[in-house]
Each structure stands twice: as structure tokens, then as C-alpha cells.
Amino acid sequence: MEQSKRKKLAGTTLILILLGLAASLVSGFAAHIPDGFEWVAFVFAGLPEPEQTFGGIWSFLGQGPLVQTLTGAFGITVALSLAYVVFKVLSCRIGRTDIPSRDEVSQ
């Protein structure tokens, strides 16, 4: 598949994820247990929740569906970019070591 088609498919998928995320968070379809499973397990076992020392870089924005959607969308973009950069760096090394260039093949 051509690179442009791959990028188009990647872009379309990203937009669909963002729309799906926004729809489920804003409509309240998602559960209202922001603490995560482990914390709920502590409550279930009758133990005090461990003190949260780091609330995240977005903690100053507070809670709410809109904030969750915005910070989630930003997180998705960061995850995509980070994975793209990391795997690009890793894949480039193949090109430098394992796969011969066109000039090397022609020689």
C-alpha cells in the first residue's frame, strides 16, 4: 500500500477514535469511577485508599466530561506521536543496517 494511503487510513482511524471517545465521555456512557480498578479493589477490601501523591499534569483543570474529553484527546495525540517517533527510530535502524539501499543493490 502506498505511503499516502497508509497515512490517510491512519488519519481516518485517529479521527474516529477521537469522535468515539468524545461521544462516550460527554454522553456519560463511561463509568464514573475515575480512580481506576486497583483503588476500587482497596475500597472493596475495606482498606483505606493509598494517598495519591501525583494527580497528573492535568490535575489543575479539575474533573468533568469536557475536561476528560480534552485531556483524553491530547493524550491520544501524544500516544500516537510518541509511538510514531519511537517506532520510526527503531525501524530506521533496519534501513541503515539490514536492508541494502537502491545504490548498493545496483552495484
Partner 1 sequence: MFAMSGVVLVLSVKKVNRQLDDRLVPYMGVLAAVIFGAQLVNFPVPPASGHLVGSTLLAVLMGPWAAIVTIALVLFVQALSGDGGLLTYGLNLFNMGVVSCLVGWSLSFVIFRTLKTHMDERKSVLIAAAGASYTAVVVAAVVLGLELLAVTGFGYTAFVAIVGIHALIGVGEAVLTCAILVYFLKAHPSMVSLLSGSEMSKAAELPLSAQPGA
Residues at the site binding partner 1, with contacts judged by CB under 8 A: 1, 3, 6-7, 9-10, 13-14, 17-18, 20-21, 24-25, 29-31, 33-34, 36-38, 40-41, 44-47, 52-59, 68, 71-72, 75-84, 86-88, 90-95, 98
- Shortest Cβ distance from residue 74 to partner 1 (Å)? 9
Percent helix, strand, coil in the chain (nearest 5)? Answer: 70, 0, 30
CB of 60 or CB of 107, closer to partner 1? 60
- Shortest Cβ distance from residue 79 to partner 1 (Å)? 4
CB of 13 or CB of 101, closer to partner 1? 13
CB of 3 or CB of 107, closer to partner 1? 3
Would you call 70 exposed, middle or buried from its count of C-beta atoms within 10 A (0-12, 13-18, 19+)?
middle
CB of 53 or CB of 107, closer to partner 1? 53
In 3D space, the residue among 58, 60, 61, 68 whose CA is nearest the CA of residue 33 turns out to be 68
